[in-house]
Structures are given as C-alpha cells and as structure tokens.
Structure 1
Amino acid sequence: MTPPTVDVHAHLLIPEVEEAVAALSGLAEAKALDARRNGAASLAVSGPMVRSIVPKATDVSLRLAAMDAQGVDIQLVSPSPSHYHYWADEETAEKVYRLANEATAAHCAQGPDRLRGLGIVPLQHPEQAVRALSHALDQGLSGVEISSHAPGRELSDPAYEPLWALAETTGAILFLHPFGCTLDERLDRWYLSNVVGQPTENAVALSHLIFSGVLDRHPGLKIVAAHGGGYLPTHIGRSDHAWSARSDASAGCAHPPSSYLGRIWFDSLVHDPHVLRELVRAAGADRVLLGSDFPFDMGTEDPVGALRAARLSYPDFHAVRGGNAVALLRKD
C-alpha cells in the first residue's frame, strides 16, 4: 500500500495579522526595507500576484480543490512568511503570533483529515519564542515556521537554546523558511532577492545550525528546510573541506558538516530534476519531502510531476511523495 501524497510547503494568508499591525510605525520601516531589498520592478509584479492568490490562500474549499487537482492528499499549512513581522515589539509580537497560530489552527480545522498546520514564533524576542511555540502546540499545530535569522541574531545565537530544547522535547516541527535576504540592494533587480536570496539564506541558516553545534546539542530536532535547503546540500563538500582543514571551522561541531544532512529534512522545491536527484543523494531519500510553495508563483503547480521528473527509484519516489512526511507527522 502506497502512502498518501503529502505537501509540506504550503501557505496561508491571514488578514487579521496585517490588520493588527497596519497602523504601527514599525510596519512602514519594514516595508521600506522590503522595497530596497526587492526593487520597484519586483514589487510591481508581486503586488498583483499576491492579490490574485488571496482566494486560494484563505478559502479552505479552494485549497482542497487545488489539492485534488494536484493529486495532493495532505498539506502542511504554514502562514505566509510575510506575517513574521520580526520588527515588532513584545506586545505586538505576542498579538501577531497568537492571531497567526489561532487562525492557522482554525483554517486547518475546516479540513481536519487533509490539513495540518504550523504556527509562527517571534525570533526577535527569544524568550517569547518559547511561549509562542507552546501556544502553537496548544492550538493543535504540528510546530512552527521560522525565518533564517532575526534582526541582530543568527540561529546559532545561544539565546535560542531554550527554543531548541522545547522543540526537541515536544517533537515540534521547525519549518525553516527565509523571508528577506540581507544582501539587500545587491539583489534588487530581476527578483534576485528571491531567486538568489532565498537559497542563500537557507544555506547560511543551516550552516549556523550545523557549525555552531546546535544539532549536536539537540539531535532530536525536527528541522524541515524549505527550497531544498538552498545551496548547502549540493555544495556541502566545501563545508567538509573547511571543517577538516581549519581549526576555526571545526571548533563548534563534532562531525563533518555533511553528516548533519541526515538529521535535517528538506523539501523537494528546487525546480530542477537533476538538483533534486543530487539532494536525495546528499541527504538520503528518507530526508526529502514533497513541497510546492502553494499558492505562490515561485512554487510549482505540479509537485508530483516535478518529483516524477527526477526519475528516482520506485521506493525513493514514494518515500519523497509522502512516506517520509507521514512518518514525520506521525511522531508529532
């Protein structure tokens, strides 16, 4: 019996979150930074695109119909990363994560046999992130979505140790999905802010988790990296070389960086069957999960077809299509 098809990378838009921050001065500053990072031409395309997907990203009946058309049985639904609002103060941050977690839980409750959810946590307030994860789990969510960094903090920051400890203890899924790239204006044309920025941020964030020893201290963490983990898995040999050749590179983690790929899960959204095959080779077929980025334009409308194009073996195809995600979700 083959497993159901499970898409672990699908998003929800939450109007209540944006209404809660609309009048705050910090939002204007965040939008100005976003404009610098993306550039006017990209924003001119992204605005209409986001408006066009609002129905699919908010209406459960449309989501389920789209899943049927794609041959997807189960979606793991996470808020749009635009809802992170890592600029927010503690009071606003608590309001944001509560609204996001509760709205995601309510959305998924409308399709309980087919939808599972992830919440968000305010990484800009590490002590509050622990409470936010607990709140997400209390709503019946499977974990939380996090970005690649927060202002002034990388994921290797010791302040996040309590968050990692709670996630490990509870079995919560941590979906690593960047929002924004700190290369800023260097990527402000041709949508490079996303095309190059997202896989760069994935690689940097995962490198911080690996090289700092977070995965040594918390081997039970359930980290799922969006966008196939970015550039890191297919270029992990350079990390291994540095670890073996330089004392500063090997000071934080106990083993060669490539060995940690087997402790992380990666979605399949790499837009190239050859890269997907290499990801499966590098991380292991048991560590890759189907992902679509539904319903955004940088995703795929046929995630199963994209997986089929990689021409994996029969067991590996079905593991990535759903078997691995079923096992991962069953544990939470």
Structure 2
Amino acid sequence: MTPRPATGTTAHPGPAVDVHAHVLLPTIEALVDGLPGRAEARALDARRNGPAALAVGGPMVHERIPRLTDAGVRLAAMDAQGVDVQLVSPSPSHYHPWTDETTAEKVYRTANEATAEHCSAASDRLKGLGLIPLHHPDLAAPALEHALEQGLLGAEISSHAPGRELSDPAYEPLWRRAEETGAILFLHPFGCTLDERLDRWYLSNSVGQPTENAVALSHLIFSGVLDRHPDLKLIAAHGGGYLPTHIGRADHAWSARSDAGADCAHLPSSYLKRLYFDSLVHDPHVLRALIAAAGADRVLLGSDFPFDMGTEDPVGALRAVQLSEADFHAVRGANAATLLRLA
C-alpha cells in the first residue's frame, strides 16, 4: 500500500484511514430467515422507521450491494475517495437482537468469519471488526475472543440491547476482556428506542442515531465503566451523537446533584479524552466543536461507507473544517494508524 497525499495539503506519508465502513453479509440473513421472531422484528422495524423510510431504504441498499459485498469494488471506491485503509464492520442490520442464544452464537460466528474473509482480499487495506450479541451477555466476551481469533481487530456493538443498557454489570466481562486484549470496540446504534415518535421524515436516523449514541456513552460514563476500564479502546460512530457538543449539561448535573455523580469519579467531559469519535457529523462547525471538546487526537475519519447517510468524500469533509495541518493529518489517518497499530 502506498498512501496518497491529501489533495490541497502538504504531502504526508501516513495513510488516510476510514474507521466507519460496512460490509453486507447475505449468509447471516439466510441463517435467520424464517426463524420464530423474525417477522415480529421486521414489524417492529417497520413501525419505528415508517413506510416512507422503508420504501426509500430498500432500493438504496440494493444499488450499493456491489460496494457492500465485493472487495474489488470497495477498493476502487476507496481509491476514488482518497482512502487508503478502511476499518470494516458488519452492517447494523445484522445485529438481530431478537434471536435465541443458539442462533445468536451462529450469527456472531458467521459474521466474524465472513468479515475476516472479505477483508482477506486486501489485508493491508481492509481491517475488520466482528459482531457482539449484547442481548446475550454471556456470549459477549466469547464473541470478542472469536473475532480476535479470526484476525479481526475487535468488534462492533450496538448502543443497547432489549432490556439492557451498556451500564449493565452483565457486560463487565466484555469490557475487561476488551481492555486486556487491546481490542477495538466500535459503538454503532441499531435502531432507536423512541420508536413511533420518529416514524416520519427519516427522524429514526437523523434524530435517533445521535440520540442513541449520546445515551449509550452517558451510561458508560455515569456508571463508572470508564473508571473501571480506563484503557478501553472504544470508537463512537456519528461523532458520539449529541453528547460531546452538549457535554456542559452533563458536567453541570454531575456538579449540582449528588445522584448524578454517585458512580462517576470525574467530570463527565473529562471522559471524552478517553474515547474516540468518528468525524461523520455532516457539519464543519459541529466537527470543529467535537475536536475542541475531545481533542484532535481523539477524532478519526469516518464515512459510513457506502450508505446514503454517509459521505462520499470524507477527506473533503474534513478539509472543509479548516484545521491546522497537524490536526488535519491526525484526524485524516495518523490517529487511527496508531490506534489500529498499522505498520
């Protein structure tokens, strides 16, 4: 791999690294198709998103299947974007948090193995993440272990599981094992618990995803998970949602109320510098605020490749923020190269 210079900037030897890219795995859908609970899950998804979103989403995904499944097509698209390396995670549609324990184990094993196979087509440019079934906490740490055994760098997790938040003590073995191994955890919501309130105008995504990120990160911060596991390597998709740019309210609550700070040792905003965030916020002003809140060393390039709620030009979107040269290159790829231990 020969990293290309970022257009319009001083040549830089480091690769451009996109940490938010997805792969579609038809074998998982074949595995769960027709199982008890599948129809009910689809009905819930339809209620949460609304008929208009489903009518648009189906053709959108179908048009992108080559980029989602064919490594050669993916690499050509990366070249066009000026991206050298992608961190590839399973499409969030593969979570299936309704499955029983036996099926959930089959799903994560299939996801881990299929993602590793996809990335093996260009192992210097495609790095992979597995999948963790949070709805069966006893499977979480074994799923991470299995992902690492396949040569993946870690795993993708959702913002919650039915009836459980990320603050649930049942996930302690997962956090502990991720910290011990140095595995990457990529926090990417699947669905939003606001349900039918967001069933029009694609609010389920435009409002729901940032909300889910903010809630999930708040559970990790306020519950003390990040105090107990200070070396956890967690990347939050979508710039961490609303939390990083509205962290002042959390800080005020922590300072003003004994119940808010009962389980959290430090000011909430201080934990932003223990987390990583992708750059996919769709607004240069918001991205600048995210970098100011978390630090330029904690923000990583992200595109949500190749979905329509992503960006076709992640490097260009970063350039629009008009950062210093050092900060630009840090976010463009230097931070991720260090985090992912790229050669």
TM-score range, shorter chain: over 0.9
Where do 5+ consecutive residues of structure 1 fail to align?
none
**Counterpart among 143, 146, 163 of residue 132 in structure 1:** 143
Aligned to 1:12: 23
Aligned to 2:301: 290
Aligned to 1:187: 198
Aligned to 2:9: none
**1:105 is the counterpart of 2:116:** yes
CA distance in 2, matches of 1:304, 1:262: 23
Deviation at residue 25 of structure 1 after TM alignment: 2.0
TM-score when normalising by structure 2:
0.96
The amino acid of 2:41's aligned partner reads A
CA distance in 2, matches of 1:305, 1:139: 33
CA distance in 2, matches of 1:25, 1:159: 26
CA distance in 1, matches of 2:192, 2:276: 22
CA distance in 2, matches of 1:217, 1:265: 17
Superposed CA offset, 1:114-136 (max 9, x none): 00000001101111111110000
**Counterpart among 52, 59, 78 of residue 48 in structure 1:** 59
3-state SS of paired residue (1:123): coil
**1:149 is the counterpart of 2:160:** yes
CA distance in 2, matches of 1:148, 1:254: 22
3-state SS of paired residue (1:254): coil
CA distance in 2, matches of 1:34, 1:301: 27
Aligned to 2:275: 264
Superposed CA offset, 1:11-42 (max 9, x none): 00000000000010211111111000000011
Question: Which consecutive segments of 4 or more residues in structure 1 shift more than 2 A?
Answer: none
**Counterpart among 243, 246, 249 of residue 257 in structure 2:** 246
3-state SS of paired residue (1:116): strand
**1:28 is the counterpart of 2:39:** yes
3-state SS of paired residue (1:4): coil
The amino acid of 2:143's aligned partner reads A
TM-score when normalising by structure 1:
0.99
**Counterpart among 288, 311, 324 of residue 300 in structure 1:** 311
3-state SS of paired residue (1:235): helix
Would you say the 8 A contact 1:171–1:331 is kept in 2? no
Query: What are the residue-to-residue correspondences of 1:205-244 with 2, within 5 Å?
Result: 205-244=216-255
**1:64 is the counterpart of 2:75:** yes
Deviation at residue 331 of structure 1 after TM alignment: 8.1
Superposed CA offset, 1:216-257 (max 9, x none): 000010000000000000000000000000000000110000
CA distance in 1, matches of 2:126, 2:52: 35
**1:275 is the counterpart of 2:279:** no
3-state SS of paired residue (2:189): coil
Superposed CA offset, 1:93-130 (max 9, x none): 01000000000000000011100000001101111111
3-state SS of paired residue (2:312): coil
Aligned to 1:204: 215
Would you say the 8 A contact 1:2–1:318 is kept in 2? no
The amino acid of 2:15's aligned partner reads P
Aligned to 2:130: 119
CA distance in 2, matches of 1:310, 1:26: 45
3-state SS of paired residue (1:223): strand
Would you say the 8 A contact 1:118–1:142 is kept in 2? yes
CA distance in 2, matches of 1:139, 1:147: 21
Superposed CA offset, 1:256-287 (max 9, x none): 00000000000000000000000000000000
3-state SS of paired residue (2:37): helix
Would you say the 8 A contact 1:118–1:145 is kept in 2? yes
Identity of aligned residues (%): 77
CA RMSD of aligned residues (A): 0.9
Name the count of aligned residue pairs: 332
Deviation at residue 2 of structure 1 after TM alignment: 3.2
3-state SS of paired residue (1:266): strand
CA distance in 1, matches of 2:29, 2:101: 16
Aligned to 2:183: 172
Aligned to 1:324: 335
